[in-house]
Amino acid sequence: MELLSGGEMVARALEDEGVEYIFGYPGGAVLHIYDALFKDCKVPHILVRHEQAATHAADGYARATGKPGVVLVTSGPGATNAITGIATAYMDSIPMVVLSGQVQSHLIGEDAFQETDMIGISRPIVKHSFMARRTEELPGMIKKAFHIASSGRPGPVVIDIPKDITRPDAKVEYEYPKDVKMRSYSPAQRGHTGQVKKAARLLLAAKRPIIYSGGGVILGEGSELLTRLARELNYPVTNTLMGLGAYPGTDRQFLGMLGMHGFYEANMAMHHSDCILAVGARFDDRVTNTVAKFCPSAKIIHIDVDPASISKTVMADVPIVGPVQSVLTEMLTQVAALREKEPNLPDQGALARWWEQIEEWRADHGLLTGRRYAQSDQIMPQQVIQSLYRATKGDAYVTSDVGQHQMFAAQYYPFDKPRRWINSGGLGTMGFGLPAAMGVKLAFPDMEVACVTGEGSIQMNIQELSTCNQYNTAVKIINLRNNYLGMVKQWQDMQYESRYAMSTYEDSLPDFVKLTESFGHVGIQVKKLEDLDDAMDEAFSLKDRLVFLDVFVDPMEHVYPMHIAPNGSMKDMWLSKNERT
Amino acid sequence: MRRIISLLMENEAGALSRVVGLFSQRGYNIETLNVAPTDDPTLSRLTLTTIGDDLRIEQITKQLNKLVDVVKVVDLTEGAHIERDMMLIKVRATGAARDEVKRTTDIFRGQIVDVGPSVYTIQLTGTSDKLDSFVAAMSDADVLEVVRSGVAGIARGEKVLSL
């Protein structure tokens, strides 16, 4: 067996794990590891400009590919800077392995230079964490970390590695384990057949059914099966913010996103439904509005790989714990078997009436069919997203930051494929978009990658323009510039009589064109609607360049629909500034 | 409703902090907590009491089960079980109170484990209720210090919590 140092083991284990990129930043506690990477490691390392960006880039990579993202940071500030990105991944169940350096074992607990209790700080925001104590533990620990991060309900795993156990002169035998056995960790492998049967019966008896699917369907690679089930039954589908793309966004059966800024027809259909099939969704407060008023007449079937997600906020009538792929496969079989026995299921007359009602809602206030957003003499933010959709033929990877632009992108860029829409849904992390886009572009260099952002969010990780220059990651940044923290302003308009407490930059914003140019990229400013499409086309015609498209949009626009809170139900929405359901 | 949740976890650094952290992170309450290694040195047994409705207790057990260091979880209050809490209590024992404290201790089947010229230290084992009653019965005496182990519990009959 080969003798390797701890540092060399880390490098080798990442190779053996088939890692494509390491996103990281060196520092004292990880220098032995970095030296091993430099000397002999096939895995390229991407040097970010801030550790938060390393985690977001690894996160974007993971969301786009389905493979765990890998981060390497030093102790102390390196580790704490990574925290926001770890929390972001945790909230959206993204597989990630974070290797953090730690001070030497004998210094732990002595408030040594750049010491921080990474295991303690990260504890509430990781799926699991390991503290390495001996060099020979490293291969098994790394194997376990990747296994835990990517199986069951995925999530981030931290390995904290004291500097002394990576010492180059202390070599021990290295063998990367082939498989993992853990007596305390065994995620569900398949759903309970009896429960699936019960669910199939309930689903076929429905008169006003709806399929409500979330990020779990994308994470569990269940999109195809979900689409097949929906089409076979001709049932309407709505996706959560995290689930967009799990069902084709341009399909007739798709009602759009649901929730706080969901489509009118999606929220109405949910509220009036008599049977909800929830798949890989978690009844988040941004979906349900007031839980006590949530979908009063619906029976709820809830499929999730994480039992703790079931009946957490909304009680499920038929809970099914299992991976979406195996449960949906079995569901298709059960549905087919039941229909063979009772071919008149589901009730086609009732279903036709339900669709008639849905089409009426869609025609009245559907964002993409009926209702049009208000127009002004300025560019409307929605028009920018529509222009982006046109220029990329609806086939780009779109990352976003957090705020109004995120909601406009989710509403006006219908995604036909899973893993194309990449945003921080659970934690709502501003500054996510650009580094995430870097991660996606590195994974798919030949694909178009756009980062839809606002001038608030982009400034939270704008230093990554420098990283994009170093690695020539030619993403397109679409900045919806309104000189306000738009979503904060919207709430201040609606709830604080337009007192804009600290939500405007006045005239302090940088010249984004010059700024982008100084980083070696291309900047384009757009102020008039008639220039928008040309500028968008120009941005995407510059294949090998990062382009920052700074688009001045109407600062007064709000995102609608918007759930009325507190005490509202799914069907209670503002439809415009002066119109409500 | 009061519940006694008992679990086996890996006897590893950090495992306890994950369990305790879960409770504070999710706003669950811990009334008592007791933890020690078992006959298998790789496993620790942790028993805690908490208060909550069925929905909350279900969430607590699910969330505990999700922790990678936790091997098995059981809600002992779901079936017949034995619970024991151990208390050491130091009371002022002078004059007439000296006899009275001794008598009450006998009634509760406690033991005086340390005697000083003016204090008794009493050991008492039983359910949390029994210990509460004893402290209440001492209300006339001068209670100087109370220390309790927290509830440990085990199911009655054949049922065992093991691997």
DSSP string, B69-105: TEEEEEEGGGS-EEEEEEEEEEEE--THHHHHHHHHH
At residue A324, the pLDDT reads: 97
Q: Are A43 and A20 in contact (CB under 8 A)?
A: yes
Distances (CA, A) of A532 to A91, A125, A390: 35, 41, 11
Which residues lie closer than 8 Å to A327 by C-beta, 6 or more apart? A190, A191, A196, A303, A320
Q: Report the distance separating Cα A208 and Cα A273, nearest Å.
A: 5
Which residue from A minimizes the CA distance to B10?
A184
The two structure tokens encoding residue B17 = 């902090």
Q: Report the distance separating Cα A511 and Cα A488, nearest Å.
A: 23
DSSP A547-573: EEEEEEB-TT---SSEE--SS--TT-E
Which residue from A minimizes the CA distance to B42?
A183
Q: Are A330 and A193 in contact (CB under 8 A)?
A: yes
The two structure tokens encoding residue A545 = 């360049």
The shortest C-alpha distance from B36 to chain A (Å) reads: 18
Largest Cα–Cα separation, chain A: 77
At residue A370, the pLDDT reads: 63
Share of chain B residues as helix, strand and coil, in percent rounded to the nearest 5: 30, 40, 30
Q: Report the distance separating Cα B66 and Cα A513, nearest Å.
A: 48
Give residue for tokens 């409703």. B1
**Cβ–Cβ below 8 Å for B59 and A308:** yes
Q: Is A178 a catalytic residue?
A: no
Q: Report the distance separating Cα A362 and Cα A263, nearest Å.
A: 9
CB-nearest partner of A184 from B14, B25, B68: B68
Q: What sign has the CA pseudo-torsion B131, B134, B139, B144? A: negative
Q: Is A548 a catalytic residue?
A: no
Q: Is A102 a catalytic residue?
A: no
Among A435, A440, A446, A545, which Cα is nearest to A47's? A435
Query: Residue A55 half-sphere exposure, CB side, CA atoms within 13 Å?
Result: 31
CB-CB neighbors (< 8 A) of B65 in chain A: 307-308
At residue B70, the pLDDT reads: 97
The shortest C-alpha distance from A52 to chain B (Å) reads: 23
Q: Report the distance separating Cα A263 and Cα A368, nearest Å.
A: 9
Residue A153's φ and ψ, nearest 5 degrees, are -85, 110
Give residue for tokens 């156990």. A165
Q: Is A291 on the interface with B (CB under 8 A)?
A: no
Q: Is A342 a catalytic residue?
A: no
Q: Report the distance separating Cα A541 and Cα A20, nearest Å.
A: 28
**Cβ–Cβ below 8 Å for A182 and B9:** no
Give residue for tokens 């509830």. B151
How many other CB atoms are there within 10 angstroms of residue A224's CB atom?
A: 13
Among A167, A220, A168, A170, which Cα is nearest to A191's? A220
CB-CB neighbors (< 8 A) of B69 in chain A: 128, 184
Q: Is B163 on the interface with A (CB under 8 A)?
A: yes
The amino acid occupying position A532 is L
Q: Is B18 on the interface with A (CB under 8 A)?
A: yes
Q: Is B59 on the interface with A (CB under 8 A)?
A: yes
- Mean local confidence (pLDDT), B119-136: 97
Residue A23's φ and ψ, nearest 5 degrees, are -105, 120
**Cβ–Cβ below 8 Å for A184 and B9:** yes
Range B31-34 contact pairs with CB under 8 angstroms and sequence separation of 24 or more: B31/B2, B32/B85, B32/B128, B32/B148, B32/B150, B32/B151, B33/B150, B34/B149, B34/B150, B34/B151, B34/B152
Which residue from A minimizes the CA distance to B72?
A184
Q: Are A400 and A409 in contact (CB under 8 A)?
A: yes
Q: Report the distance separating Cα B58 and Cα B55, nearest Å.
A: 5
**Cβ–Cβ below 8 Å for A184 and B70:** yes
Q: Is A183 on the interface with B (CB under 8 A)?
A: yes
Residue A24's φ and ψ, nearest 5 degrees, are -165, -175
Catalytic residue among A113, A232, A470, A579: A113
Question: Which tens digit of pLDDT belongs to each residue from B86-98?
Answer: 999 999 999 988 9
At residue B141, the pLDDT reads: 83
Helices (runs of H) and strands (runs of E) counted in chain B: 4, 9
Q: Are A162 and A134 in contact (CB under 8 A)?
A: no
The shortest C-alpha distance from B62 to chain A (Å) reads: 5
CB-nearest partner of A312 from B10, B17, B59: B59
CB-nearest partner of A123 from B21, B66, B70: B21
Q: Are A237 and A414 in contact (CB under 8 A)?
A: no
Q: Report the distance separating Cα A423 and Cα B132, nearest Å.
A: 53
Please list the pLDDT of chain A residue by residue as tens digits (581 residues).
899 999 999 999 999 999 999 999 999 999 999 999 999 999 999 999 999 999 999 999 999 999 999 999 999 999 999 999 999 999 999 999 999 999 999 999 999 999 999 999 999 999 999 999 999 999 999 999 999 999 999 999 999 999 999 999 999 999 999 999 999 999 999 999 999 999 999 999 999 999 999 999 999 999 999 999 999 999 999 999 999 999 999 999 999 999 999 999 999 999 999 999 999 999 999 999 999 999 999 999 999 999 999 999 999 999 999 999 999 999 999 999 999 999 999 999 999 999 999 999 999 998 887 667 888 899 999 999 999 999 999 999 999 999 999 999 999 999 999 999 999 999 999 999 999 999 999 999 999 999 999 999 999 999 999 999 999 999 999 999 999 999 999 999 999 999 999 999 988 999 999 999 999 999 999 999 999 999 999 999 999 999 999 999 999 999 999 999 999 999 999 999 999 99
Length of chain B in terms of residues written: 163
At residue A369, the pLDDT reads: 78
**Cβ–Cβ below 8 Å for A306 and B66:** yes
- Mean local confidence (pLDDT), B64-69: 96
Q: Is B62 on the interface with A (CB under 8 A)?
A: yes
Please give the interface size between A and B, counted as residue pairs whose CB atoms are below 8 Å apart. Answer: 37
The shortest C-alpha distance from B161 to chain A (Å) reads: 14
In which band, very low, low, confident or very high, does the pLDDT at B139 lie, cut at 50, 70 and 90?
Answer: confident
**Cβ–Cβ below 8 Å for A183 and B163:** yes
Q: Is A340 a catalytic residue?
A: no
Catalytic residue among A67, A127, A143, A163: A163
Which residues lie closer than 8 Å to A179 by C-beta, 6 or more apart? none
At residue A73, the pLDDT reads: 98
Give residue for tokens 């940088």. A510
Where would I find the H helices in chain B? 15-25, 54-66, 96-107, 128-137
Q: Is A121 on the interface with B (CB under 8 A)?
A: no
Interface test with B, best of A90, A122, A181, A184 (most B CBs within 10 A): A184
Interface test with A, best of B62, B65, B163 (most A CBs within 10 A): B62
